[in-house]
Chains A and B, each alone.
Chain A
Amino acid sequence: MSVATHDDIHAHDHHDHGPAKGFMRWVTTTNHKDIGTLYLITGLIMFFVGGAMALVIRAELFEPGLQYVDPHFFNQMTTLHALIMVFGAVMPAFAGLANWMIPMMIGAPDMALPRMNNWSFWLLPFAFVMLSSTLFMDGGAAAAGWTLYPPLVLQTGNALPFTVFTVHILGMSSIMAAINIIVTVFNMRAPGMTMMKLPLFVWTWVITAFLLIAVMPVFAGAVTMLLTDKYFGTSFFNAAGGGDPVLYQHLFWFFGHPEVYILILPSFGIISSIIPTFSRKPLFGYASMVYATASIGLLSFIVWAHHQYTVGMPLAGELYFTYATMLIAVPTGVKVFNWLATMWKGAMTFETPMLYAIAFVVLFTMGGFTGLMMSISPADLQYHDTYFIVAHFHYVLVPGAVFALFAATYYWLPKWTGHMYDEKLGKLHFWLTTISVNICFFPQHFVGLAGMPRRIPDYAVQFAEFNAMSSVGAFVFGFSQLIFAYVIYKAIKGGEKATSEVWEGAEAHGLEWHLPSPPPYHSWTEAPDQSLISELH
C-alpha cells in the first residue's frame, strides 16, 4: 500500500472547474452566485423600465388636462408599470439576494437544485420581452390595472393571451425558485445549523416561499379562467352566463394580498440583518421575530377581501375582514419594536445600508399606519380607488421593499465584489432618494383624501399643485437611481479592497462574513465550524 499527496490537479478532475468564460457562462451556469447576479441585474434593468413607465404617468399628471399620452395608453402604462415593478423588479431582486446569500448563510455549497435554478431564472427574460411586446400589439397592452379585473380586461385586444402566458411563465419561475429555496433550507443546512439558528433573512425567505407555493396556483387558475372566458366560451366571470365577476376579485386578492407579503417579508429579513450590524448588538428578540414573521404569513391568507369592501359584502364579512386586517398590526408592531430595541443604546454608525434601514423603519411604519386606516371598512369607502391608496402602497413598496433592496445591495456589495463601494455617492443616493420619495408620494395622501381617483390621466384643477409636486419628486427619484447604478458599476470595476468581515463586528451576525470577499466560486466546500454557528444569536 502506498499513500501519496499531490499538489497538482488530476487530469479529469471534475471538482475544480471555475466559471466558464464568455456569454455561455451566464446561459449555462448552475452556480448560485452567478444566478443571483443574473437575477439582480435583471431586477435593476426592469426597475429602470418600470420606472420609465412611472415617469410617463407622472409627466402626464404634472398638470391637469391631457398633455402627452391618450387615456388608453396611460392605463397601459399604469398596468405594465405595476406588473413590471412587482414581477420584474422587486421579486427577481429578492430572488437574486436569496440565491446569493442563502447558501452562504446556511453553510451550503450551492442551492439544492442548481439546474432548476438556472431554468427558473432564464424563464424571466423571455417573459418580460413577451410582456413588453404587448405594447406593440393590435389594441395595445392590457390596460385594466395589475389586478386584470374582468370584464374590463376581457376588452383587451390581441395582448390578452400573451399577458396571461407571461403571468404563467413568471409564476412557474417563482414557484421553481420557491421550491428550490424550501428544499435548500430544509435539506442543506450545515451540521449544527438548526432552524432557530437560521438568519432572519433565511427565515423570512422560507416563509415567503411557502406563501408563493400556496397562492401562485390560485393566480394561475384565475388568469386561465380569463382566457377560457374570452376564447373558449366559458362563463366563470360572466354574469350573463351564470358566472360572477366578483369571484375573480376574490381569487385575485386571495393571491394578491399574500403577494404583498411576498414582496415585504424578505425586506424584514434584510433589515433584521443590517440593524444589528450597525448597532453592534445582537438582534433583539430573535425568536419573537421568527414567530411574528410566521404570524404575518398566516394572517395574509385570511384578510384578502379588505381590498373589496366596496364590492358589496355582508356586514359580518366587513366586520370580520376589518378585525382580521387590524390583527396584522400586532406582529408587525413586534418587528418595529424589536428593531428599535436593537438600536437602543447600540454603538450605532450611519453607513449607507444603515441609513436605508432606518428610513425603512420610519417610512414603512407610515405606510403601515395608512394601511391600518384602510382596514376600517366604513372609512375605506372614502379611500377606495383614490390616490390615498396609491400613496399607501407606494409607501409600503418603495421605502419598504425597494429601500430594503438598496440597503441589501450596499450591505452585501463589498462581499460580492470584494471592493468597498463609494460611500459619498451612496449617501448622496440615499438623501436624494429619501427626500424625493417623500416629495413624490406624501402629497398623494392629500389629493387622495380630497377625492382624486387613481388610474385617470386627468384631474380637477384643485389637485394641480400637489400633483406637480409629486411629479417633480418622481423625476428626481427616477434620475437619482442612475447614481445607484453607477455606484454598483464602480464597485464591480474596482476600489478599496474589502476584508472578509467588511463591517466591524459583522462576523458575529452571519456565516457569510466568514468567507473571503469576494467569496470563492464554490462557497462552503468545507462545512463551517460548528463553533461559528453556535455563536450566532
Chain B
Amino acid sequence: MVESGHDEDTGEKTIVLKPNGSLSRRQAWLLLGICGLLMGLVAGFCAALGAWLVLPFSGLEWILLAFCLHLSIRQSQEREVITITGDLVRVEKGWGSPLQTYKFQRAWVMLDCIQSPIRGHPSRLTLRLHGKEVELGRFLVESERQVLARELKYLLSLG
C-alpha cells in the first residue's frame, strides 16, 4: 500500500509504504482470545476430569499460535517512509520506529526500476547514490511498485 502526504507549511512530501495485511493487531488479539478461550475450556474440562496433562500441551500450543500471529502481524507492520524536503531525500525503514535511515541529495540520487527477466517475478525499485543503495517497497505488489516509481519520478524531478 502506498500513501502520500504533503505538508503545505514546510513543503515536505511524505510517502508511506506498507505491506498488505488483512488482520489488524486488535483482530489478532481477538482471534487469540477466542482460541485461548476454546482451548482453555477444553483443557480445563479435561483437567477437571483428572487429565491435567492436557493443560501444558494446550498452553504450549496457544503460545505457539500467539508467536506465529505476532511474527506475521509484525511482518505486515513493516513501514518505509520516504520524505522529500528541499534538496534532501530521506528513507526510513522499521517497525513502529525507524531502525534504518538513509539520506540522499535530491539532485544526484538515481531511481532505478529493474525488471526481472523471469516472467511473473517482481521488479526492484531502488534509490542509489555514490555506491549507497536502498531498495524501496520490496513488500509491495507489482502494480503498487509501478505507481510508486511514477510518483517518485515526478517528485524527484520537481527538485
Chain A residues in contact with chain B, CB under 8 A? 1-10, 13, 15-16, 18, 112-113, 116, 175-176, 179-180, 182-183, 186-191, 193, 210, 213-218, 220-222, 224-225, 228, 236, 243-244, 247, 250-251, 254, 301, 516, 520-522, 524-527
A517 to B50, CA, bound (A): 54
Q: Report yes or no: B111 in contact with A1, Cβ–Cβ below 8 A.
A: yes
Q: Report yes or no: A183 in contact with B68, Cβ–Cβ below 8 A.
A: yes
Q: Report yes or no: B117 in contact with A116, Cβ–Cβ below 8 A.
A: no
7 contacts between A and B (CB under 8 A): A5-B112, A5-B114, A15-B121, A16-B117, A176-B64, A251-B46, A254-B46
Q: Report yes or no: A8 in contact with B117, Cβ–Cβ below 8 A.
A: yes
Q: Report yes or no: B54 in contact with A191, Cβ–Cβ below 8 A.
A: no
* Inter-chain contacts of B81 with A (CB < 8 A): none
A176 to B65, CA, bound (A): 9
Q: Report yes or no: B116 in contact with A15, Cβ–Cβ below 8 A.
A: yes
Q: Report yes or no: A251 in contact with B51, Cβ–Cβ below 8 A.
A: yes
Q: Chain B interface: which size bin?
A: 35 or more
Beyond the given pairs A1-B156, A216-B57, A225-B53, 14 more chain A to chain B contacts, judged by CB atoms under 8 angstroms and listed by A's residue number, are A5-B114, A13-B124, A112-B71, A175-B61, A179-B68, A186-B22, A187-B72, A191-B22, A217-B58, A247-B49, A251-B46, A251-B54, A525-B121, A526-B142
Q: Report yes or no: B116 in contact with A218, Cβ–Cβ below 8 A.
A: no
Q: Report yes or no: B23 in contact with A221, Cβ–Cβ below 8 A.
A: no
Instruction: Please tell me which one of the listed residues B69, B114, B153 contacts residue A6 in the complex, with CB atoms under 8 A apart.
Output: B114
Q: Report yes or no: A4 in contact with B111, Cβ–Cβ below 8 A.
A: yes
A221 to B72, CA, bound (A): 29
Q: Say how far B141's CB is from chain A's closest CB, in angstroms.
A: 4
Instruction: Please tell me which one of the listed residues B31, B106, B116, B157 contacts residue A186 in the complex, with CB atoms under 8 A apart.
Output: B31
Q: Report yes or no: B107 in contact with A1, Cβ–Cβ below 8 A.
A: yes
Instruction: Please tell me which one of the listed residues B42, B51, B157 contacts residue A225 in the complex, with CB atoms under 8 A apart.
Output: B51
Q: Report yes or no: B51 in contact with A7, Cβ–Cβ below 8 A.
A: no
* Inter-chain contacts of B71 with A (CB < 8 A): 112-113
* Inter-chain contacts of B106 with A (CB < 8 A): 1
Most buried by B among A2, A112, A189, A217: A217
Considering only residues 74-112 of chain B, those with a C-beta below 8 Å from chain A are: 76, 106-112
Q: Report yes or no: A15 in contact with B157, Cβ–Cβ below 8 A.
A: no
